[in-house]
Amino acid sequence: MAVEAVDWTVAQTTNIAEHKGAQRVRTSHVGGRGMVFTPLHLGNYDVSALVNLTGGVRTTVSRTLVSRYVRRSIRAMSGANRDKFFAAAHVLATTDYSVGLALYGDDFNTITNFTKIHLNNAGTRNTDHLHDGLGFLTQHAAMTMAFERSLRSVDAAISVPYWDFTYDAESFLTGSNFTTNDPALLWTLDVWGEDWFGNASGSKYHTIETGRWAWQKVAVVDHEDPAIHNAYGLLRAPWNTNKSPFLTRAHSMCAHETFSLTDWPSCEEHYTLAFAYASWYEWGWAVQYSPHGAVHKMVGGYVNCGDLVERAKGFLPPSAVGQFAESLVEIPKNLWRSYLVEYPDYCSEDTPQDQCHVQCDYSAGKIGKDEWTAAAYEGDNPQWIRNLSHKEWNDFYELYCDTPMAPGEQLESASPADISFWPIHPTLERLLIYTRLVHKFSDALDYVYDNFEWSHCDDTPFAFPKLDDAQSISETAKSVQPRTHKPRARKLARKPAAQP
Ligand SMILES: [Cu+2]
């Protein structure tokens, strides 16, 4: 028997209320079998095909089609879709919040506001709510989702792409390029193209000079704004006294060759994460370090180090200089959080950078190296510091206190300002979903419920379907009128009327 014609019916069955009616398509294909259908909404669709065979025989086949947004590798997107993503992200970076709300609705938010959220949660003096804990992945995933909704308020057809940076590591480590272990190779990658993340390598201002993101400004925080900011009033962490008005990517730690291409997260780190950590607790901690940290570090880096490295070489062995430069990721903020150093609250616009930087209190003499080390390294005690003589320690301490070194945005709490921040964390979220598909975490719940039955409801209109009754579950789900929950508007306390 041959197929004479197929009558297709596609009907949306869930998430209908939001769209004022279900999307439905009926189409007949004489002689052919296939049909092309583009779902316009999220939700489930019933698809059925009535197949007319020769000899008047008919048969029906039904399936459920699930419609979701697809997050794709940034490299696998079509050029047009990738461009839509970057164009919408640029709207978020350049539109005033109030204007965006009026134009695009309540889901709209700006990159500046997302940067404030990140900064206000990671840049406080008492703690970092977003990193070095189990909240890292979930909170970054939540921020990505809010960012994605904001993008969709501008262009409904957008998903946030993921940047699989392990691909980069493998292309260098196994490719013919890998002859020098030169981290500069990183800046030749496609992702730094003018219309993608933009390229800051070779810029004497350590910023992007051409393309969509050229000369991107760091937001200035006005006096009324409670957002965390630096001494120059720029939307940066307090320990980042960088005066540059432009988004900064240093790409090295104080110009010192501390980076190795082999630090870039590779297949090995992601494979190990997926299979070597049995529990969510272990996984959730491990994910933020070797599987991802180096991306922030190597993009952000440290600028304004003057001759720090050269001077340090005068009294530190080369390996110590390297270890010190590399640990700038943590030292400045740890010392500040331990109240061993201060940063100025305010530096006027005409204050030169070399006069606006970390402040060490010499009133009680210099801080001893044990106290400094315990704070800077959170208890670790690196050998290179232990090896310093009294004089070397004093020289090092003065050098540290004199240098206006500053991290690029990607290495501090204002990282969402850099467009290259956004596709990093979906890569980790994707790996989490993969991990959960391939094995169960051992720290699963250690209890179960006795049953899922509400038999006392069976004689009411609200009988819960039994779990093994798929048909009843599906019918119930279709018959119940969907509802949405809107948060109640909070009544704001009225300001007392001003006295005349
Ligand atoms: Cu990150």
Mean pLDDT lowest among 110-124, 304-318, 433-447: 304-318
pLDDT at 171 over 80: yes
Number of domains in the chain: 1
Q: What is the mean pLDDT of the chain?
A: 90
Instruction: Compute, in angstroms, the gap from residue 288 CA to the centroid of ligand 1.
Output: 7
Give 392-419 pLDDT, tens digit per residue. 888 889 999 999 999 999 999 999 999 9
Instruction: Compute, in angstroms, the gap from residue 298 CA to the centroid of ligand 1.
Output: 12
pLDDT at 488 over 70: no
pLDDT at 496 over 50: no
* Averaged pLDDT, 374-391: 84
Q: Is residue 19, in this structure, part of any structural domain at all?
A: yes
* Averaged pLDDT, 47-58: 90
Q: Is residue 36, in this structure, part of any structural domain at all?
A: yes
The tokens describing 441, both together, are: 């975490």
Q: Is residue 51, in this structure, part of any structural domain at all?
A: yes
Contacts made by residues 273-280, CB under 8 angstroms, sequence distance 24+:
273/431, 273/435, 274/431, 274/434, 274/435, 274/438, 275/438, 275/439, 278/441, 278/442, 279/441, 279/442, 279/443, 280/134, 280/441, 280/443
What's residue 177's pLDDT? Answer: 55
* Averaged pLDDT, 345-371: 88
Q: Is residue 162, in this structure, part of any structural domain at all?
A: no
Instruction: Compute, in angstroms, the gap from residue 142 CA to the centroid of ligand 1.
Output: 13
Give 432-472 pLDDT, tens digit per residue. 999 999 998 998 788 888 999 999 999 999 999 999 999 99
410, 418, 426, 407: which is closest to 112 by C-alpha? 418
What's residue 176's pLDDT? Answer: 61
Instruction: Compute, in angstroms, the gap from residue 8 CA to the centroid of ligand 1.
Output: 46
Residue of 37 and 231 predicted with greater confidence: 231
Q: Is residue 49, in this structure, part of any structural domain at all?
A: yes
Instruction: Compute, in angstroms, the gap from residue 492 CA to the centroid of ligand 1.
Output: 36
Instruction: Compute, in angstroms, the gap from residue 204 CA to the centroid of ligand 1.
Output: 26
pLDDT at 15 over 60: yes
Instruction: Compute, in angstroms, the gap from residue 114 CA to the centroid of ligand 1.
Output: 14
Instruction: Compute, in angstroms, the gap from residue 137 CA to the centroid of ligand 1.
Output: 8
Q: Is residue 40, in this structure, part of any structural domain at all?
A: yes
Q: Is residue 24, in this structure, part of any structural domain at all?
A: yes
What's residue 32's pLDDT? Answer: 66
Instruction: Compute, in angstroms, the gap from residue 129 CA to the centroid of ligand 1.
Output: 13
Instruction: Compute, in angstroms, the gap from residue 458 CA to the centroid of ligand 1.
Output: 50
Instruction: Compute, in angstroms, the gap from residue 425 CA to the centroid of ligand 1.
Output: 6
Q: Is residue 45, in this structure, part of any structural domain at all?
A: yes
Instruction: Compute, in angstroms, the gap from residue 27 CA to the centroid of ligand 1.
Output: 47
Instruction: Compute, in angstroms, the gap from residue 265 CA to the centroid of ligand 1.
Output: 12
Instruction: Compute, in angstroms, the gap from residue 306 CA to the centroid of ligand 1.
Output: 28
Instruction: Compute, in angstroms, the gap from residue 486 CA to the centroid of ligand 1.
Output: 31
Provide the residue range defining the domain that includes 57: 3-67
